[in-house]
Structure 1
């Protein structure tokens, strides 16, 4: 044996991390849901069958189902006829996640307005290109409710959110719809808009909405983008004058 062979270091291996069986099962079911193999509302096999089919323990199967339930990919229904049912994530899942991030990270109100200023003009431009007659009807209905609110400021604010969300829906981009839903709700919940929305601001808002809707109806994407940009940027500046908080103070969900 040569001296080189006698002094060579012994082979070494890195520490291996073996995934838990419940994580492996949850990953397989997750992939089959997200790929579309399991459609919305599909009933997964009962626990006993899952145990038999996978060779895993009942505790492991239950843990995997709990993981998927927390991720909102399955809904566990108790009682006769119950079980685990597939729930494919939609834009409401995105909106809920964004709201949690905004609240959990204590996102600055300025940053929230900046995000809205970046995406809502794009929503308006897409709406001008893609809107349907149903979309235009939704915009008109929200605008009519906003006009009809009169001195009822809470009703005005609800109609205002409905109109902005209708613009996003008309654009047909699911990601933008979810983001705008969360942003609109968060701004509404965290800003003293009732103090801000006096009669003059309400009249100006109604006129601006009408002009943006006009551009969307005409299919003028650039005009829709430009008018929406002026609208949301002006709102952010005006709201900042009456609310100088730097961070959001959002209430509990459902509060």
Structure 2
């Protein structure tokens, strides 16, 4: 009797049973991410998926829609259409990070702190791994930054291009994704003519050329040190002028 009473005191909550489209989407997602389904491979036609899985056409369509939203398949219409496998890219990663930044209304100060933590190491890696093509990208951005007739948006875009260029020169996909999102968000947060005056432009141009030289010389220690000084100085100046709490504008 005592044992029966102990058992009856145990209660269970509702069990969350996955919906059929989620089950199928998860199965296909694992095959894509594991490499079993190769980039560009065509998934079976909708009718064939229904036959193989014994799920309804509506379930199959919803599963494919889930994967399309997650950028794991692309769907083409027409006679030669269908669902085709695509692997995650640094662009899709940057988009996800950008969505997080905007959705969580991350403060500009936090964005700047994150850049200070990551970008000096990007510069160090860039000095070790950069190619001639990487250097050409940095040089083009430096030329655009120093252009005397560049308006605010042109200057800020050139600034983004340079910072992303340093990340690309690191040849580290995670850093490229993070820095692309961070740079775009900081662009939005510093789009302020009261801050980006002639002195800030000149200081930015000098700092970028200095870091670029260290990267070109394959001097990782100097590249990291110069980048650390640059992003810290830029952040301190920007946060004095721009007191907005978060990034809420479409970037």
Indicate whether the TM-score tops 0.5: yes
Do the aligned partners of residues 149 and 182 (structure 1) sit closer, same or farther apart at CA in structure 2, a change above 3 Å counting?
farther
CA displacement at 1:112 relative to structure 2: 0.9
Q: Deviations over 1:222-243 (max 9, x none)?
A: 1111100110110011111211
Q: Which runs of 5+ in 1 are unaligned?
A: 1-5
Alignment size in residue pairs: 247
The alignment partner of 1:158 has SS state of helix
Q: Which moved more, 1:122-131 or 1:133-142?
A: 133-142
Which residue pairs with 2:216 in the alignment? 217
Do the aligned partners of residues 242 and 59 (structure 1) sit closer, same or farther apart at CA in structure 2, a change above 3 Å counting?
same
Which residue pairs with 1:64 in the alignment? 63
Which residue pairs with 1:3 in the alignment? none
Q: What is the CA–CA distance in structure 2 between the aligned matches of 1:31 and 1:181, rounded to whole Å?
A: 27
- Poorly superposed stretches of 4+, deviation over 6 Å: none
The alignment partner of 2:106 has SS state of coil
CA displacement at 1:78 relative to structure 2: 2.2
Q: What is the CA–CA distance in structure 2 between the aligned matches of 1:240 and 1:8, rounded to whole Å?
A: 66
Contact 1:30–1:68 (CA under 8 A) maintained in structure 2? yes
Do the aligned partners of residues 108 and 247 (structure 1) sit closer, same or farther apart at CA in structure 2, a change above 3 Å counting?
same
Q: How does 1:54-93 map to 2 (within 5 A)?
A: 54-93=53-92
The TM-score with structure 2 as length reference comes to 0.91
Q: What is the CA–CA distance in structure 1 between the aligned matches of 2:70 and 2:39, rounded to whole Å?
A: 15
Report the aligned-residue RMSD.
Answer: 1.9
Which residue pairs with 2:184 in the alignment? 185
The alignment partner of 2:194 has SS state of helix
Q: How does 1:106-125 map to 2 (within 5 A)?
A: 106-125=105-124
Do the aligned partners of residues 149 and 62 (structure 1) sit closer, same or farther apart at CA in structure 2, a change above 3 Å counting?
farther
Which residue pairs with 2:42 in the alignment? 43
Q: Which runs of 5+ in 2 are unaligned?
A: none
CA displacement at 1:16 relative to structure 2: 4.9
Q: What is the CA–CA distance in structure 2 between the aligned matches of 1:151 and 1:90, rounded to whole Å?
A: 32
Contact 2:32–2:72 (CA under 8 A) maintained in structure 1? yes
